[in-house]
A and B are shown apart, each in its own frame.
Chain A
């Protein structure tokens, strides 16, 4: 870069934005960098976190569990004040505080208070969504009758989100609160976040490799190979991957994080394959590729030395998109309870929170924090994808600076 160009750039402010200086690399895209920073932040939290915080607190019952002591002041009062149990309530629910405690302090660590309301008349047998089953009649297959339950709640003036004893409220000892199974939320997040990221990276990485191989093959060879690859990838892309993954995990039941990533990779390859095939088809006729071919470069060299650098932004955008898709699918499976049960991941935390009616109990940190963390990850990846798109397609950049 000569001094004269630098001068002209500095003299005309309008040019500086699009101008030619050392910082003009398209890779210095604001959105891309912000997104990268967000994802790195989460990854760093997982790497540095264990140095500052005891991650063994992420194990069940390593922190205070949220069972109310039966002698808690106002507990009996609250039970009596609650409306009479619904007609089909079990005898245990009518047995008063002692019975409540024995039935309420279950393995799920469910809050006995939640069961003291007419709420739990039926949830666990059908295993329905606790959000629904925490209200009478909510557990039926037809999805029940929330409206009626709302009118009931209005009859008894009682706030719907309650946490009267402050179970698991953030304290100095547990700065992000605890959940009912006695896990420290900060430790859960530190342990869980990198796992979610890793699932996404492995799945998208494998999908990418397969996609690069198939895409280049299809684009270069053409003919029936191209037809077969294109048809199969088109068919696979149509199949709702999450649904098939649900079948698989329903049978396999105990999955490790790595196996889950492998499962997700089964559906992560068609996207990159299509993208690379399309790009290869357009690039193949470009002058520089034909020049390389004329000068006797091998097919491998043309692919990886000539075409690959030009495909890089597209590949990177597709990769970040895939990572976010894989993490989304993983958290989806986990939120349905089909994830690794022994290891706390963000999705499993959401599942436990939903199952234990954390929203009703006002324990916002339990469901809110993993969601917040996931939103940071997803937003970061999303910004990276947009940024990479702009890097790959200069026209998008131009419109932004207008």
Chain B
């Protein structure tokens, strides 16, 4: 507990707020820098669909009013920040009466479930592989086999997803190609449904796990090798501790800490990459919703999702940062 000083907590929470503010501001600025007026574009799209619109000028005015596009920019900005703080993300443009907040609330559990599981599995597996690759006592056969698992490291998530769909969904027909569950089943915590969700989630999760595993393995290998020569490792060996104990409590324990930092830094990338995986697999999470928003030019939906993605990753990083001093008692952040 020594590392968790109030100053440190305060600093991390400040970072969290800064990140969210930055993200919200970017989202606020982009539409105003973009060429053309989104509201006018929307009206012209409407008129393209349904012919001439009687009083489009008033319509544009009304919409401007509704979306808070009236007034000088700082008034807009303040009202925008206020609505964002209360998670009032407005109405969806494409499917009007439904609120963006509700649409996102439906999608969030799927994304969180898929991402958390896939990231955890790949983190654990990857670090284990990396540690074994660097460990001198690893059997030669295992050590020569381990690098094979890193083959897919350089392939992006979603491309492996396409390959997996081709092989396992259409070729071998082991797994369904898309969706998150069979709609004939009732949604709930019954056994059948859970099994079906796992069945549907295997391929998307696999495409994330297999491709991101190598990243952790490489980092872990580097750390293990660096630690190998340290005095405390030699002492542990000299004391006659069992190799297993040395491996887990002296090697892995000390090498895994920088990996947690790396995890915090890469969450953003993982979240971004998984949106593509969801799109490929039509997995009903935030990524797929984002894709639908793009296709329907539903700007409020896109902005809402991206804002929530930023909040989500920032929060995850905050949690990791707050956990870090608990995992690593050596580090105190007295001065930040």
Residue numbers of A with Cβ under 8 A of B are: 126-129, 131-132, 135, 137-138, 141-148, 150, 160-161, 231-232, 234-244, 246-248, 250-252, 324-325, 328-329, 331-332, 335-338, 350, 354, 359-360, 364, 367, 371, 374-375, 378-379, 381-383, 386, 389, 393, 395-396, 398-399, 402
Give B248-274 as 1s and 0s: 1 = Cβ < 8 Å from A's Cβ atoms: 000000000000000011011101110
B306 touches A243 (CB 8 A): yes
Q: Which residues does chain B contribute within 8 Å of A350, judged by CB atoms?
A: 159, 162
Q: Which residues does chain A contribute within 8 Å of B296, judged by CB atoms?
A: 126-127
Query: Which residues of B279-311 are within 8 A (CB) of A?
Result: 279-284, 288-297, 299, 302-303, 305-306, 309-310
Q: A247-B27, A359-B170 are in contact. Are A237 and B156 (CB under 8 A)?
A: no
B309 touches A240 (CB 8 A): yes
> Count of B residues near A, CB < 8 Å?
82
Min Cβ gap A31→B in Å is: 11
Min Cβ gap A324→B in Å is: 7
Q: Which residues does chain A contribute within 8 Å of B272, judged by CB atoms?
A: 240-243, 329, 332
Min Cβ gap B192→A in Å is: 12
A335 touches B34 (CB 8 A): no
Tell me, yes or no, whether B176 is within 8 Å of chain A by CB.
yes
Q: A243-B275, A395-B225 are in contact. Are A147 and B302 (CB under 8 A)?
A: no
Residue numbers of B with Cβ under 8 A of A are: 15, 18-19, 22-23, 26-27, 30-31, 34-35, 38, 103, 106, 134, 136, 153-156, 158-159, 162-163, 165-166, 170-171, 173, 176-180, 182-184, 196, 200, 218, 221-222, 225-226, 228-229, 264-265, 267-269, 271-273, 275-276, 279-284, 288-297, 299, 302-303, 305-306, 309-310, 313-314, 317
Min Cβ gap B226→A in Å is: 6
B184 touches A246 (CB 8 A): no
Min Cβ gap A236→B in Å is: 7
Q: Which residues does chain B contribute within 8 Å of A241, judged by CB atoms?
A: 268-269, 272
Secondary structure at the B interface, as helix, strand, loop or mixed, is: helix
A235 touches B22 (CB 8 A): yes
Q: Which residue of B lies closest to A248 (CB)?
A: B30
B309 touches A336 (CB 8 A): no
Q: Which residues does chain B contribute within 8 Å of A393, judged by CB atoms?
A: 222
Q: Which residue of A lies closest to B298 (CB)?
A: A250
Q: Which residues does chain A contribute within 8 Å of B295, judged by CB atoms?
A: 126-128, 337
B288 touches A332 (CB 8 A): no
What is the bound-complex CA distance between A264 and B222, given in angstroms?
Answer: 29
Q: A239-B268, A243-B306 are in contact. Are A131 and B275 (CB under 8 A)?
A: no
What is the bound-complex CA distance between A126 and B228, given in angstroms?
Answer: 56
Q: A129-B279, A238-B313, A396-B222 are in contact. Are A141 and B273 (CB under 8 A)?
A: no
What is the bound-complex CA distance between A146 and B297, given in angstroms?
Answer: 26
A238 touches B294 (CB 8 A): no
Q: Which residue of B lies closest to A241 (CB)?
A: B272
B178 touches A328 (CB 8 A): no
Min Cβ gap A96→B in Å is: 28
Q: Which residue of A lies closest to B225 (CB)?
A: A399
What is the bound-complex CA distance between A390 and B313, given in angstroms?
Answer: 31
B18 touches A247 (CB 8 A): no
Q: A142-B183, A145-B183, A337-B294 are in contact. Are A238 and B156 (CB under 8 A)?
A: no
Pick 30 A–B contacts, CB within 8 A, sort by A: A126-B296, A131-B280, A141-B106, A142-B179, A142-B183, A142-B284, A143-B282, A146-B176, A146-B178, A147-B183, A147-B184, A147-B196, A148-B183, A235-B19, A239-B23, A242-B276, A243-B275, A243-B310, A244-B306, A246-B275, A246-B290, A247-B306, A332-B273, A336-B291, A350-B159, A359-B162, A359-B165, A379-B155, A393-B222, A402-B136
Min Cβ gap A373→B in Å is: 11
Q: Give the contacting residue for B154; candidates A246, A378, A398; CB below 8 A.
A: A378
Q: Which residues does chain A contribute within 8 Å of B136, judged by CB atoms?
A: 402
Min Cβ gap A151→B in Å is: 9
Q: Which residue of B lies closest to A160 (CB)?
A: B170
B282 touches A141 (CB 8 A): no
Q: A127-B295, A248-B30, A382-B154 are in contact. Are A132 and B19 (CB under 8 A)?
A: no
Q: Which residue of B lies closest to A147 (CB)?
A: B182
Q: Which residues does chain A contribute within 8 Å of B282, judged by CB atoms?
A: 128-129, 131-132, 138, 143-144, 146
Q: Give the contacting residue for B170; candidates A129, A231, A325, A360; CB below 8 A.
A: A360
Min Cβ gap A224→B in Å is: 13
Min Cβ gap B123→A in Å is: 17
B183 touches A129 (CB 8 A): no
Q: Which residues does chain B contribute within 8 Å of A141, judged by CB atoms?
A: 103, 106, 284, 289, 292
Q: Which residue of B lies closest to A362 (CB)?
A: B170
Q: Which residues does chain A contribute within 8 Å of B297, judged by CB atoms?
A: 250
Q: Which residues does chain B contribute within 8 Å of A137, judged by CB atoms?
A: 183
Q: Which residues does chain B contribute within 8 Å of A247, judged by CB atoms?
A: 26-27, 30, 302-303, 306
Q: A129-B178, A231-B18, A241-B269 are in contact. Are A336 and B279 (CB under 8 A)?
A: yes
B162 touches A371 (CB 8 A): yes
Q: Which 3 A-B pairs have the closest CB atoms?
A: A242-B272, A127-B295, A132-B282
B163 touches A371 (CB 8 A): yes
Q: Which residue of A lies closest to B133 (CB)?
A: A399
Q: Which residues does chain B contribute within 8 Å of A371, judged by CB atoms?
A: 159, 162-163
What is the bound-complex CA distance between A137 and B222, given in angstroms?
Answer: 48
Q: Which residues does chain A contribute within 8 Å of B305, judged by CB atoms?
A: 243
A378 touches B155 (CB 8 A): yes
B288 touches A364 (CB 8 A): no
Q: Which residues does chain A contribute within 8 Å of B317, judged by CB atoms?
A: 238
What is the bound-complex CA distance between A389 and B106, given in angstroms?
Answer: 43
A374 touches B156 (CB 8 A): yes
Q: Give the contacting residue for B178; candidates A144, A231, A239; CB below 8 A.
A: A144
Q: Give the contacting residue for B302; candidates A129, A232, A250, A324; CB below 8 A.
A: A250
The residue in A244, A395, A396 that gathers the most chain B C-beta atoms within 10 A of its C-beta is: A244
Q: A127-B296, A138-B282, A241-B269 are in contact. Are A161 and B176 (CB under 8 A)?
A: no
B275 touches A375 (CB 8 A): no
Q: Give the contacting residue for A231; candidates B15, B229, B294; CB below 8 A.
A: B15
Min Cβ gap B246→A in Å is: 17
Q: Which residue of A lies closest to B136 (CB)?
A: A402
Q: Which residues does chain B contribute within 8 Å of A360, judged by CB atoms?
A: 170
Q: Which residues does chain B contribute within 8 Å of A329, judged by CB atoms?
A: 272
Given A240-B309, A375-B159, 11 other A-B residues pairs in contact with their CB atoms under 8 A: A128-B295, A131-B281, A237-B268, A240-B269, A246-B306, A247-B30, A328-B273, A371-B163, A375-B154, A383-B154, A399-B228
Q: Which residue of A lies closest to B98 (CB)?
A: A141
What is the bound-complex CA distance between A243 and B106, given in angstroms?
Answer: 19
